[in-house]
Amino acid sequence: MMDEELEEKTVNRAAREGDILSLKTLLENGADLDCRDNRGWYPIHEAAFGGHTECLQTLLNHENCCVNWEGFQKETPLYVAVKACNESCVNVLLSHQADPNILNHMEESPLYQAVLQGSMNMVEKLLRHGGNADQKQYTGDAPLHVAASNGNLGIVKLLLEYGAIQDTVSDFNMTPLFLSARFGHAHVLSYLIGSAKAAGQGYLVDKQAEDGATPLYLSAQNGNSDCVQILLKEGADPHFKTSEKDCEAMPLHAAVQFAHKECVGLLCDVTDIDLCCKCAVGTPLKFAINDQNNGDCLKQLIERGYDINSQSVTYHGLENSIFTRPFQKSCTEFTFLTWTLLSNYHGSTAYPNMVKILLDSGAHVNSTKDTELPPLLAAIIRHVGKDILELLITYGADVEVHHPSVRIIDNMSMALKLALMVKNLTAVRVLLEHNVTPPNPQYSQGREREIMMIFWHRCYQHTGETTSGKARSLWSPKGLKHLSRCKIRRSLGTTKFKERLSQLSTCQPPILPHLMMDYLEYKYELGE
């Protein structure tokens, strides 16, 4: 090598490049070994990280070299060799009594890093040379936590063989068993449970993390059905609840929330319905309905006996609605059908399916008490499609719905009044087609009268009815004849009104005289 080239070389550079000839020449000429780069690394770090075994051996043989020199982040040559997976360099360093328990600035030991790299050979060598199997890094994770999280059963067995403590916990009170369940490593979980029971630590199956979650809860939340099955078989309690204020929940809630239907099926069979529904978050049905693609979980819950007509749902979207304040205050309970209609109105293709599942399963299509918001009104508020409105009416929704806290003039249907106020013309048309009592615009005042008059004409245009002639007072005074008409109209069912009348007129002999049929269609009042 030429002298000019040698002058440009440093011991660090030679070690980094694995240039053994330059390194030996520099050392023979008295070059310093304790020179450091901007990371605080010595030449021995460079050789160990680069996997240059011969350079590393040469440096270690020098009398001024320290095998445990630390960089600025407190990393030793052994640590960087492990991190770079240079097993041959690890062997050389250990043969020169490198300390396997010196921690870097994150309190990570070479053993911790070896477990992180998944190298069973390096883990075994470090343990044989005195590596601490329970040394934790700054988050409280021990090597066993890492091995369990990564699903490395071989390393788990090795660590336990060298005395690793299985009930060790991280800063969040999580055990290695907990982490194996969380990440779905069923083979590791099964082994750790067996090991724990053999050591008299069977309680680890249900040991809760800082937030109260159990291994079963995390398995259910992440959809690890194999782990759920193992834990239940080993006696895990499905009734342990998370401890967050106002958010306590059981594993079944977690499985439903994230639509893990296999886990839901397993947990439904062992979870007490009453205890589950008494959690702060309420019944798991709420989580099934929250996800419009969670129909399978919803069906499972209903089949297992969860009450779809329970009144445990609150909704805060009506404060600024078009309803009067007494109505807002009185309607504080929503069935799941109503809640679904209020919450899920973004046009999802799965949405009608969720509504139909509820209806097919016996959901109340009309409110059963004054504190409930009627489902039909919820549908009108959210401008749901015609198909949903007709589905509700087909299942028996009352188009003439009333509420004692809302004063409606002329006995007009509350549903129709609401549809007019929110400008939901689709709902107006559907309601009129299904025999709702139409509004009387002459009873309104001022601007509202003009708006209702317009809707009066528009509604009849949309239903194919004529609007010729001036609209007159239809119900004042309310004679027996008119009240009878309203009763007959309502008795004709949910079939389209004009179609139903047409069917009656074609019967032989006719069921109703033509004069009466004209009267039912308000033709006299409309001047026809």
152 domain residue, yes or no: no
The least confident of 28-37, 408-417, 501-510 is 408-417
More confidently predicted of 477 and 492 = 492
Q: Are 242 and 172 in contact (CB under 8 A)?
A: no
Residue 3 lies in a domain: no
| Residue 373 banded pLDDT, cuts 50, 70, 90 | confident
pLDDT beyond 70 at 479: no
Q: What pLDDT, on a 0 to 100 scale, did the predictor assign at position 65? A: 94
Residue 285 lies in a domain: yes
Q: In the prediction, which pLDDT does 439 show?
A: 61
Question: What pLDDT does residue 345 have?
Answer: 52
pLDDT at 494 over 50: no
* Model pTM score: 0.78
Q: Is residue 287 part of a domain?
A: yes
- What is the C-alpha to C-alpha distance for residues 139 and 68, in angstroms, rounded to an integer? 25
Please tell me whether residue 335 adopts helix, strand or coil conformation: coil
Is residue 276 assigned to a domain? yes
Contacts of 385 (CB under 8 A, 6+ apart): 352, 426
Q: Which domain holds residue 252?
A: 238-305
Average pLDDT, the chain: 84
Q: What is the 3-state secondary structure (H, E, C) of 439-462?
A: CCHHHCCHHHHHHHHHHHHHHHHH
Is residue 133 predicted with pLDDT exceeding 60?
yes
Model confidence pLDDT, tens digit, residues 240-292:
999 987 789 999 999 999 999 999 999 999 999 999 999 988 889 988 887 76
CA-to-CA distance for 131 and 79, rounded, in angstroms? 12
109 burial level (CB within 10 Å; 0-12, 13-18, 19+) = buried
How many alpha carbons fall within 13 Å on the CB side of residue 48?
Answer: 28
338 vs 274, 312, 341, 393, CA distance in Å? 22, 12, 5, 14
Whether the CB-CB separation of 147 and 113 falls below 8 Å is answered with no
The rounded distance, in Å, linking the Cα atoms of 203 and 398 is 55
**Residue 463 has what pLDDT?**
43
Confidence category of residue 515, pLDDT binned at 50, 70, 90: confident
**What does the pLDDT average to over 329-347?**
72
pLDDT tier at 442, thresholds 50, 70, 90: low
Residues above pLDDT 70, as percent of the chain? 80
CATH of the domain at 275: 1.25.40.20
Distance CA 46, CA 58 (A): 13
Confidence of residue 493 (pLDDT cuts 50, 70, 90): low
The answer to whether residue 290 is domain-embedded is yes
2: pLDDT confidence band, cut at 50, 70 and 90?
very low
Q: What pLDDT, on the 0 to 100 scale, is given for residue 410?
A: 52
Residue 386 forms part of a structural domain: no
More confident residue, 450 or 223: 223
Q: How far apart are the first and last CA of the chain?
A: 116
pLDDT at 131 over 90: yes
The per-residue pLDDT for 453 is: 54
Query: Taking a C-beta distance cutoff of 8 angstroms, is the pair 434, 489 a contact?
Result: no
What are the structure tokens assigned to 343, written together? 């919450």
What total of structural domains would you count in the chain? 1
Task: Retrieve residue 30's tokens.
Answer: 């008295």
> Is residue 405 one of the residues assigned to a domain?
no
Q: Encode pLDDT of 306-317 as tens digits.
A: 988 876 566 555
